[in-house]
A and B are shown apart, each in its own frame.
Chain A
Amino acid sequence: AQTVTQSQPEMSVQEAETVTLSCTYDTSESDYYLFWYKQPPSRQMILVIRQEAYKQQNATENRFSVNFQKAAKSFSLKISDSQLGDAAMYFCAFTDSNYQLIWGAGTKLIIKP
Protein backbone atom coordinates (compact mmCIF):
# COMPACT_ATOMS: atom_id res chain seq x y z
CA ALA A 1 0.00 0.00 0.00
CA GLN A 2 1.18 3.50 -0.74
CA THR A 3 1.45 5.55 2.40
CA VAL A 4 2.82 8.80 3.75
CA THR A 5 4.07 9.04 7.32
CA GLN A 6 4.57 12.26 9.21
CA SER A 7 5.97 11.19 12.54
CA GLN A 8 5.70 14.58 14.26
CA PRO A 9 2.09 15.42 15.19
CA GLU A 10 3.25 18.80 16.49
CA MET A 11 6.38 20.92 16.30
CA SER A 12 7.17 24.28 17.79
CA VAL A 13 9.88 26.76 16.88
CA GLN A 14 10.96 30.17 18.02
CA GLU A 15 10.25 32.98 15.59
CA ALA A 16 13.22 33.55 13.23
CA GLU A 17 14.62 30.08 13.92
CA THR A 18 14.75 27.12 11.57
CA VAL A 19 12.56 24.05 11.80
CA THR A 20 12.48 20.78 9.87
CA LEU A 21 9.34 18.73 9.37
CA SER A 22 9.85 15.09 8.50
CA CYS A 23 8.01 12.94 5.98
CA THR A 24 8.58 9.44 4.72
CA TYR A 25 6.56 7.65 2.10
CA ASP A 26 6.22 4.27 0.55
CA THR A 27 5.68 3.63 -3.13
CA SER A 28 6.84 1.18 -5.75
CA GLU A 29 6.71 3.83 -8.47
CA SER A 30 9.90 5.31 -9.82
CA ASP A 31 8.44 8.56 -11.06
CA TYR A 32 6.09 10.67 -8.98
CA TYR A 33 5.65 14.14 -7.54
CA LEU A 34 5.98 15.10 -3.89
CA PHE A 35 4.35 18.08 -2.26
CA TRP A 36 4.16 19.99 0.95
CA TYR A 37 0.86 21.75 1.55
CA LYS A 38 0.10 24.24 4.29
CA GLN A 39 -3.33 24.46 5.90
CA PRO A 40 -3.81 27.55 8.11
CA PRO A 41 -6.79 27.89 10.46
CA SER A 42 -8.89 29.05 7.50
CA ARG A 43 -8.45 25.43 6.29
CA GLN A 44 -7.53 26.44 2.75
CA MET A 45 -4.93 24.06 1.32
CA ILE A 46 -1.96 26.04 0.02
CA LEU A 47 0.93 24.55 -1.91
CA VAL A 48 4.26 25.29 -0.25
CA ILE A 49 6.69 23.39 -2.43
CA ARG A 50 6.84 20.55 -4.96
CA GLN A 51 9.53 18.09 -5.97
CA GLU A 52 9.71 15.86 -9.02
CA ALA A 53 11.10 12.48 -8.02
CA TYR A 54 13.32 12.19 -11.09
CA LYS A 55 15.12 15.41 -10.18
CA GLN A 56 18.01 15.01 -7.77
CA GLN A 57 18.24 18.69 -6.95
CA ASN A 58 16.28 19.67 -3.88
CA ALA A 59 13.49 22.17 -4.50
CA THR A 60 13.58 25.57 -2.80
CA GLU A 61 11.03 28.34 -2.54
CA ASN A 62 12.32 31.36 -0.67
CA ARG A 63 12.50 30.32 3.01
CA PHE A 64 11.23 26.82 2.27
CA SER A 65 13.44 23.99 1.09
CA VAL A 66 13.27 20.23 1.00
CA ASN A 67 15.71 17.45 1.66
CA PHE A 68 14.68 14.75 -0.80
CA GLN A 69 16.31 11.36 -0.31
CA LYS A 70 14.78 9.10 -2.93
CA ALA A 71 16.46 5.88 -1.84
CA ALA A 72 15.35 6.43 1.74
CA LYS A 73 11.92 7.66 0.57
CA SER A 74 12.28 10.70 2.71
CA PHE A 75 11.03 14.20 1.93
CA SER A 76 11.58 16.66 4.78
CA LEU A 77 10.65 20.34 4.74
CA LYS A 78 12.94 22.98 6.18
CA ILE A 79 11.53 26.38 7.07
CA SER A 80 14.17 29.03 7.67
CA ASP A 81 13.63 32.31 9.51
CA SER A 82 10.24 31.14 10.81
CA GLN A 83 7.50 33.75 10.85
CA LEU A 84 4.27 33.93 12.81
CA GLY A 85 2.36 33.48 9.55
CA ASP A 86 3.97 30.07 9.07
CA ALA A 87 1.84 28.66 11.88
CA ALA A 88 -0.38 26.02 10.30
CA MET A 89 -0.86 22.32 9.68
CA TYR A 90 1.65 21.03 7.16
CA PHE A 91 0.80 18.04 5.02
CA CYS A 92 3.18 15.96 2.99
CA ALA A 93 1.67 14.27 -0.07
CA PHE A 94 2.62 12.47 -3.26
CA THR A 95 0.83 11.43 -6.41
CA ASP A 96 0.36 7.70 -6.81
CA SER A 97 0.21 5.69 -10.02
CA ASN A 98 -3.43 6.71 -10.45
CA TYR A 99 -2.43 10.37 -10.01
CA GLN A 100 -4.31 10.67 -6.74
CA LEU A 101 -2.72 12.63 -3.94
CA ILE A 102 -1.82 10.39 -1.02
CA TRP A 103 -1.61 12.42 2.17
CA GLY A 104 0.17 12.22 5.49
CA ALA A 105 -1.61 12.92 8.75
CA GLY A 106 -0.07 16.36 9.08
CA THR A 107 2.22 18.20 11.48
CA LYS A 108 0.94 21.14 13.45
CA LEU A 109 3.57 23.88 13.45
CA ILE A 110 3.51 26.37 16.31
CA ILE A 111 5.58 29.55 16.09
CA LYS A 112 6.61 31.05 19.42
CA PRO A 113 7.00 34.85 19.34
Chain B
Amino acid sequence: EPEVTQTPSHQVTQMGQEVILRCVPISNHLYFYWYRQILGQKVEFLVSFYNNEISEKSEIFDDQFSVERPDGSNFTLKIRSTKLEDSAMYFCASGTRLADEQYFGPGTRLTVT
Protein backbone atom coordinates (compact mmCIF):
# COMPACT_ATOMS: atom_id res chain seq x y z
CA GLU B 1 0.00 0.00 0.00
CA PRO B 2 1.41 3.43 -0.93
CA GLU B 3 2.48 5.59 1.96
CA VAL B 4 3.88 9.01 2.72
CA THR B 5 7.53 8.95 3.71
CA GLN B 6 9.55 11.55 5.57
CA THR B 7 13.25 12.06 6.11
CA PRO B 8 15.05 12.37 8.39
CA SER B 9 13.21 10.71 11.25
CA HIS B 10 15.09 12.86 13.73
CA GLN B 11 16.99 16.09 13.12
CA VAL B 12 19.05 17.89 15.73
CA THR B 13 20.17 21.40 14.88
CA GLN B 14 21.54 24.45 16.59
CA MET B 15 19.50 27.60 17.01
CA GLY B 16 19.87 29.87 14.01
CA GLN B 17 20.66 27.08 11.58
CA GLU B 18 18.59 26.26 8.51
CA VAL B 19 16.85 22.91 8.26
CA ILE B 20 15.05 21.20 5.43
CA LEU B 21 12.53 18.51 6.19
CA ARG B 22 11.70 16.21 3.33
CA CYS B 23 8.56 14.38 2.40
CA VAL B 24 7.57 12.11 -0.46
CA PRO B 25 3.78 12.19 -0.76
CA ILE B 26 1.74 9.40 -2.31
CA SER B 27 2.31 9.62 -6.04
CA ASN B 28 -1.20 10.38 -7.34
CA HIS B 29 -2.03 12.87 -4.59
CA LEU B 30 -2.50 16.53 -5.46
CA TYR B 31 -2.81 18.22 -2.07
CA PHE B 32 0.05 18.46 0.37
CA TYR B 33 0.23 19.64 3.94
CA TRP B 34 2.60 20.28 6.79
CA TYR B 35 1.54 20.07 10.43
CA ARG B 36 3.52 20.28 13.61
CA GLN B 37 3.00 18.90 17.07
CA ILE B 38 4.93 20.33 19.97
CA LEU B 39 5.41 17.65 22.60
CA GLY B 40 2.28 17.26 24.69
CA GLN B 41 0.28 19.76 22.65
CA LYS B 42 -2.28 19.75 19.85
CA VAL B 43 -1.40 19.14 16.26
CA GLU B 44 -1.25 22.48 14.45
CA PHE B 45 -1.74 23.21 10.77
CA LEU B 46 1.15 24.98 9.09
CA VAL B 47 0.53 25.09 5.37
CA SER B 48 -1.29 23.49 2.47
CA PHE B 49 0.03 23.29 -1.08
CA TYR B 50 -1.70 22.65 -4.37
CA ASN B 51 -0.80 23.17 -8.00
CA ASN B 52 2.69 24.30 -7.09
CA GLU B 53 1.62 27.05 -4.78
CA ILE B 54 0.57 27.63 -1.21
CA SER B 55 -3.19 27.34 -0.76
CA GLU B 56 -3.43 28.26 2.89
CA LYS B 57 -1.03 29.00 5.70
CA SER B 58 -1.42 29.54 9.40
CA GLU B 59 -0.09 32.32 11.58
CA ILE B 60 2.72 30.00 12.61
CA PHE B 61 3.97 29.84 9.03
CA ASP B 62 5.88 33.11 9.02
CA ASP B 63 8.72 34.31 6.81
CA GLN B 64 11.09 31.82 8.40
CA PHE B 65 9.18 28.98 6.78
CA SER B 66 8.94 28.00 3.14
CA VAL B 67 7.76 25.00 1.17
CA GLU B 68 8.74 23.64 -2.18
CA ARG B 69 7.96 20.81 -4.51
CA PRO B 70 11.21 20.87 -6.41
CA ASP B 71 10.98 17.81 -8.60
CA GLY B 72 7.41 16.57 -8.74
CA SER B 73 7.90 13.95 -6.06
CA ASN B 74 9.50 15.60 -3.02
CA PHE B 75 7.74 18.15 -0.85
CA THR B 76 10.02 20.07 1.47
CA LEU B 77 9.62 22.35 4.46
CA LYS B 78 12.47 24.75 5.10
CA ILE B 79 13.02 26.67 8.31
CA ARG B 80 15.57 29.38 7.61
CA SER B 81 16.77 30.25 11.10
CA THR B 82 15.55 27.81 13.68
CA LYS B 83 14.43 28.86 17.13
CA LEU B 84 14.18 26.78 20.28
CA GLU B 85 10.39 26.88 20.01
CA ASP B 86 10.55 25.21 16.59
CA SER B 87 11.36 21.96 18.38
CA ALA B 88 8.44 19.69 17.52
CA MET B 89 7.30 16.72 15.49
CA TYR B 90 6.63 17.79 11.91
CA PHE B 91 4.14 15.77 9.91
CA CYS B 92 3.71 15.82 6.18
CA ALA B 93 0.38 14.72 4.73
CA SER B 94 -1.10 14.33 1.28
CA GLY B 95 -4.54 13.77 -0.16
CA THR B 96 -6.45 13.34 -3.38
CA ARG B 97 -9.23 15.78 -2.69
CA LEU B 98 -9.81 18.87 -0.64
CA ALA B 99 -11.51 18.29 2.70
CA ASP B 100 -11.09 14.54 2.48
CA GLU B 101 -8.77 12.13 4.21
CA GLN B 102 -5.17 13.17 4.57
CA TYR B 103 -2.53 10.48 4.70
CA PHE B 104 0.24 11.20 7.14
CA GLY B 105 3.90 10.42 7.07
CA PRO B 106 5.71 9.07 10.14
CA GLY B 107 6.94 12.53 11.09
CA THR B 108 10.30 14.19 11.61
CA ARG B 109 11.28 15.01 15.15
CA LEU B 110 13.12 18.34 15.09
CA THR B 111 15.21 19.23 18.12
CA VAL B 112 16.67 22.74 18.25
CA THR B 113 19.42 23.22 20.83
Cβ contact of B56, chosen from A35, A46, A100, A102, cutoff 8 A: A100
Other 15 A-B pairs with CB < 8 A, given A98-B48, A100-B56? A32-B99, A33-B99, A35-B101, A43-B89, A44-B104, A44-B105, A45-B43, A93-B43, A95-B99, A98-B56, A99-B56, A101-B35, A102-B45, A104-B42, A106-B42
- Residue ID in chain B nearest A47 by CB atoms: B101
CB neighbours (8 Å) of A28 from chain B are none
Q: How large is the interface on B (under 10, 10 to 19, 20 to 34, 35 or more residues)?
A: 20 to 34
Cβ contact of A101, chosen from B89, B102, B106, cutoff 8 A: B102
- Proximity bits, A27-59, B CB within 8 Å = 1, else 0: 000001101010000111111001000000000
The verdict on B58 contacting chain A, using a C-beta distance below 8 Å, is yes
Task: Return A90 CB to nearest CB of chain B, in Å.
Answer: 12
CB neighbours (8 Å) of B99 from chain A are 32-33, 95, 99
- Residue ID in chain B nearest A32 by CB atoms: B99
CB neighbours (8 Å) of B101 from chain A are 33, 35, 47, 50
Q: How large is the interface on A (under 10, 10 to 19, 20 to 34, 35 or more residues)?
A: 20 to 34
Q: Is the contact region of chain B dominated by helix, strand, or loop, or is it mixed?
A: strand
The verdict on A91 contacting chain B, using a C-beta distance below 8 Å, is yes
26 A–B contacts from the bound complex (CB under 8 Å):
A33-B100, A37-B104, A43-B37, A43-B109, A44-B104, A44-B105, A45-B91, A45-B93, A45-B107, A47-B103, A95-B100, A98-B48, A98-B55, A98-B56, A100-B48, A100-B58, A101-B33, A101-B35, A101-B43, A101-B45, A101-B93, A101-B102, A102-B45, A104-B42, A105-B42, A106-B42
5 smallest CB-CB distances across A and B, nearest first, come from A45-B104, A100-B45, A103-B43, A95-B99, A99-B98
CB neighbours (8 Å) of B107 from chain A are 43-45
Residue among B45, B55, B105 with the most chain A CB within 10 A?
Answer: B45
